Amino acid sequence: MDDKSILLVEDNPDDEALTLRALRRNNIANTVIVARDGVEALDYLFARGAHLRRDPAETPALTLLDLKLPRVDGLEVLAQIRAAPVTRLLPVVILTSSREEQDVINGYRLGANSYIRKPVDFGQFAEAVRQLGLYWLVLNETPPGGSGATR
Amino acid sequence: MDVTAVRPDFALLFRSAPALLLVLQPDAGFTILDATDAYLQATLTERNAILQRSVFEVFPDNPDDRNASGARHLRASLERVLVTGARDVMAVQKYDIRRPASSGGGFEERFWSPVNSPVPAADGRIRYIIHRVEDVTDYVRSSLSDAAQQEAADAAERRNRSLEREILQRSRDLDLLNANLRQINATLNAEIAERRRAENWLSELLRSAPDGIVIVDRQGRIVLASNQAESAFGYAADELIGQTVDILAPVDKERAHFAQRTAYMGTPHRRAMGEGLELMGRRKDGSLFPVEISLSPIQTQDGFWVTAIVRDVTRRKQATEHVRQLNMELHRHTVELKAANRELEAFSYSVSHDLRAPLRSIDGFSQALLEDHAGQLDPTAREHLARVRAATQRMGALIDDLLELSRVTRSELRPENVDLSGMAESLVNELRHSQPARRVETDIQPGLEAMGDPRLLHIVLSNLLSNAWKFTGTRAEAHIEFGEGTGDDGMHCFFVRDNGVGFDMAYAHKLFGAFQRLHAVSEFPGTGVGLATVQRIIHRHGGRIWVEATVDAGACFHFTLPLPTQP
């Protein structure tokens, strides 16, 4: 498998562990970078702060974005991703607990590629992660240029 | 004894009377009714030739005598009899008579002394006139042969007659005048009665008018004030009459009022109630009260007067103030409610996110235990973990339902015409797919529409049909029906009926409360929030929902929704 990395933006360590477990159980072995709030996620993507020495051209193949985050929330992260040329086409899937209509609408309006609600049932959650990985990392052709596979 | 047998023959007696008599009808021509034989003989006439003919036709003046006046005098006398009802003696008349053709024709000079007597009937009216004459020709010829003497007599007689005519004419005029006066009197009396009625009506109007009425003359003096006006301004009856109207305005406005009404008198026009300013009235004791005044000029003989309608608006002002305070209170409540709503929204958001996260952890790590450490767990431990997972999932469902209930309350209604039949069909199809093994007969009335928010009505039908589906689960022959009932208050009425397990109507009132369940979860799963959500949606649409059920015989939910708008 190509080294298509996944950026997981998640502040809840339990959810982080469960997501990673679901990925592993579905044999998705891609590198997973975890950002625990919005600032960290943006620093990683734009290669600043702790990630200053990273090559910003190496963008993740998929970003899994929670909405409720400390400091900068998920919608703001999404807005900045879509505003910057280098991340403009990055596939972003919102993965959140909220099913509030406003969140769904705002998520899509700001350019989310998908909106997935985390089910309570771990079986269902694992199935959702499996389908996500299959679709975005295997079936989906990543956009050329600023985002996608590294060379 | 028979009276007729001895009654004399009056006709024979009359006709044979030794006098010159003529019986006349008191009509326009004075028709001859009968004559004595002596009369016929004296006038050279035959009875048959003169009866039923006018006396003037039978006895015309001699056309050869230019001064002939006999016929004229006779008519005047007869008419006097008719007017006065008294006997009229005529002066001696020269009244020539016609000779029959057999005797050579022409006229024969005759002098007569006539008397006309009325014969009144029982009711006093004149029925006949008896004309009696004496032939005085011979006497006149012998004694008054002198023409001059004759002429003098004629002149005297003419004077007499003219005087008589004048008197007659005057008395007629008087009669006519009297009749006119009587007519005028009657008219006047009727007019007076009419005016009195109008005055009564007017004073009744003034007394009962809900607003005070004040009429003011050109100089601003009060000419009339209704009872309402007097009592509103605190004056006794008639106390205001003659006062200047300015005393009804506040003391500090008295001069301004004077100026205003003087200006108004210059250009009088109608001014409607409430037009313009907030006005105050002054009571006799000096206290003020809010008034509305309408003015209208009335044209009188003394120039323009002004009618002022004065309405005491104290109570309305109080009511307005009360409404204003209520509005403020309402506004405050609205603000509070909005704040509460925002809090609720934040709470729901928080619940949605934060309450579900730990559940995911509990469920996820329980599952991890089962998967990764299955060897170290005995069947009881695995059973316990299964229960933990079931409970967390149930709580997850509960949170979801609660969120939906709160969302249904908060979300804005977007009503449109909704095809309920189509919605029910697709919901039933989904249910069939979820449990393909079940045998359920469904009966959905086609073409049912209502006005409502499609998303919310979907929740209603979804809940009611899933309930029907769920509670008929134990039936070998399940039956679910969706149809239209009898509407009320301009609403459509619908029902969802099933032949499921039903429930005891004693608990029907609990059914629509959140978390109320009438069956054990082990028997029929559910959170007990669905019907609370359904009821809230129906209420938000202005409808009602109620239920009829029998234990073990099924339930029927009725609900009303606004009618769809016609295209």
Residues of A with CB below 8 A from B356's CB? 97, 118, 120
């010829």: which residue's tokens? B141
Q: Report the alpha-carbon distance of residue B498 to residue B468 in Å, rounded.
A: 6
Candidates B482, B498, B465, B484; CA nearest to B560 is B484
- The average pLDDT across B137-142 equals 78
Token code pair at residue B15: 């006709």
A101, A117, A122, best to mutate vs chain B, most B CBs in 10 Å: A122
Residue A150 binned pLDDT confidence (cut-offs 50, 70, 90): very low
Query: Residue B32: pLDDT band by 50, 70, 90 thresholds?
Result: very high
Q: Which residues pair with B244 in a beta bridge?
A: B221
The arithmetic mean of pLDDT across residues B26-50, rounded, is 90
Residues of A with a Cβ under 8 Å from any B Cβ are: 12, 14-15, 17-18, 21, 67-68, 96-101, 118-123, 125
Closest CB to B349 among A12, A98, A121: A98
B370 conformational bin, left if phi > 0, alpha if psi -120 to 50, beta if neither:
alpha
Q: Crossing angle of helices B356-372/A122-133, nearest 10°?
A: 90
Q: What percent of chain B has pLDDT over 70?
A: 94
Provide φ and ψ at B116, rounded to 5°. -110, 125
Q: What is the DSSP letter of A50?
A: G
What confidence score (pLDDT) does residue A93 get?
A: 94
Asked whether B289 and B300 are in contact (CB, 8 A), the reply is no
Q: For residue B342, is pLDDT > 90?
A: no
Q: Tell me the C-alpha distance between A145 and B94, whole Å.
A: 158
Alpha-carbon gap, residue B168 to B132, rounded angstroms: 23
Three-class SS of residue B295? strand
Residue A23's closest CA among A138, A116, A133, A123? A133
CB contact under 8 A, A18 and B364: yes
Token pair belonging to B280: 């105050």
At A151, the pLDDT band (50, 70, 90 cuts) reads very low
Categorize the per-residue pLDDT at B43 as very low, low, confident or very high, splitting at 50, 70 and 90: confident
Give how far B455 is from chain A: nearest CA, Å.
12
Average pLDDT, chain B: 85
pLDDT tops 50 at residue B387 = yes
Q: Return the residue of A nearest to B388 by Cα.
A: A121
Chain B partners of A21 at a C-beta cutoff of 8 Å?
364, 368
Give B116: exposed, middle or buried? Use CB within 10 Å, 0-12, 13-18, 19+.
Answer: buried
Which residues in B lie closer than 8 A to residue A120 (C-beta atoms)? 356, 359-360, 363, 392-393, 395-396
Whole-angstrom Cα distance, residue B205 to residue B199? 10
User: Could you tell me which residues of chain B have a Cβ less than 8 Å from any Cβ in chain A?
Assistant: 348-349, 352-354, 356-361, 363-368, 389, 392-393, 395-396, 400, 403, 407, 411
Residue A58 Cα, gap to closest chain B Cα (Å):
32
Instruction: Classify residue B66 as exposed, middle or buried by CB count within 10 Å of its CB (0-12, 13-18, 19+).
Output: exposed
Task: Flag whether pLDDT at B172 surpasses 60.
Answer: yes
Distance from CA of A120 to the nearest CA of B (A): 4
**Region B285-311: what's the mean pLDDT?**
85
Which phi and psi (to 5°) does residue B234 adopt? Answer: 75, 30
Six-digit token string for A89: 């086409």
Q: What is the pLDDT of residue B407?
A: 78
Is there a contact between A101 and B393 if contact means CB atoms under 8 Å apart?
no
Q: Which of B347, B355, B356 is the best substitution to test chain A (most A C-beta atoms within 10 A)?
A: B356
Give yes or no for a contact between B132 and B115, defined as CB atoms under 8 angstroms apart: yes
> Cβ contacts of residue B130 below 8 Å, gap of 6+?
B21, B22, B23, B24, B116, B117, B119
d(CA B268, CA B304): 8
Residue B541 to chain A, least CA–CA distance (Å): 21
d(CA B512, CA B509): 7
Whether residues B364 and A98 touch (CB distance < 8 A) is answered with: no
Q: What is the share, in percent, of chain B residues with pLDDT greater than 90?
A: 19
Residue A146 confidence (pLDDT): 47
Q: pLDDT at position B2, please?
A: 54
- A33 with A4: CB under 8 angstroms? no
pLDDT at residue B558, as a whole number:
92
Of B360, B389, B411, the CB nearest to A15: B360
CB pairs under 8 A between A and B: 65
**Among B358, B396, B365, B359, residue whose Cα is nearest residue A20:** B365
pLDDT in tens, A102-116: 888 999 999 999 998
Q: Do B363 and A98 touch (CB under 8 A)?
A: no
Residue A65: list chain B partners with CB under 8 A: none
Confidence of residue B275 (pLDDT cuts 50, 70, 90): low
Which residues in chain B have their CB less than 8 angstroms from residue A17's CB? Answer: 364
Task: Say if the Cβ atoms of B361 and A14 lie within 8 Å.
Answer: yes
Point out the residue among A21, A67, A97 whose CB comes nearest to the CB of B357. Answer: A97
| Closest Cα in chain A, distance from residue B414 (Å) | 15
Q: Look up residue A23 and give its two tokens.
A: 């990925």
Q: Which two tokens stand for residue B409?
A: 């309350």
pLDDT (tens digit, 9 = 90+) per residue, B3-17? 555 778 888 888 888
* pLDDT at residue B89, rounded to an integer: 87
Distance from CA of B363 to the nearest CA of A (A): 6
Q: What is the pLDDT of residues A116-137, one digit of tens each?
A: 888 888 888 889 888 888 888 8
Q: Does B254 have pLDDT greater than 70?
A: yes
* pLDDT tens by residue, B502-546: 888 888 777 887 667 677 666 677 777 788 889 989 998 888 899
Collapse the DSSP code of B119 into the 3-class scheme (helix H, G, I; strand E, B; otherwise coil) and give the result. Answer: strand
- Please report the pLDDT score of residue A35 as a whole number: 92
What is the rounded CA–CA span in Å between residue B499 and residue B552?
8
* Beta strand extents in A6-51 (DSSP E only): 6-9, 32-35
**Interface touch A121/B348, C-beta < 8 Å:** no
Given an 8 Å threshold on Cβ–Cβ distance, is A120 in contact with B368?
Answer: no
Task: Please tell me the distance from the alpha carbon of residue B107 to that of residue B39, in angstroms, as a whole number.
Answer: 17
For residue B335, give how far its alpha carbon lies from the nearest alpha carbon of chain A (Å).
Answer: 22
Scanning the structure block, which residue is given the tokens 């299964």?
A: B386
**Of A21, A68, A120, Cβ closest to residue B359:** A120
The residue of chain B with its CA nearest to that of A96 is: B353
In the predicted structure, residue B563 carries a pLDDT above the cut 90? no
First to last CA, chain A: 14
* Residue contact A123–B367, C-beta within 8 A: yes
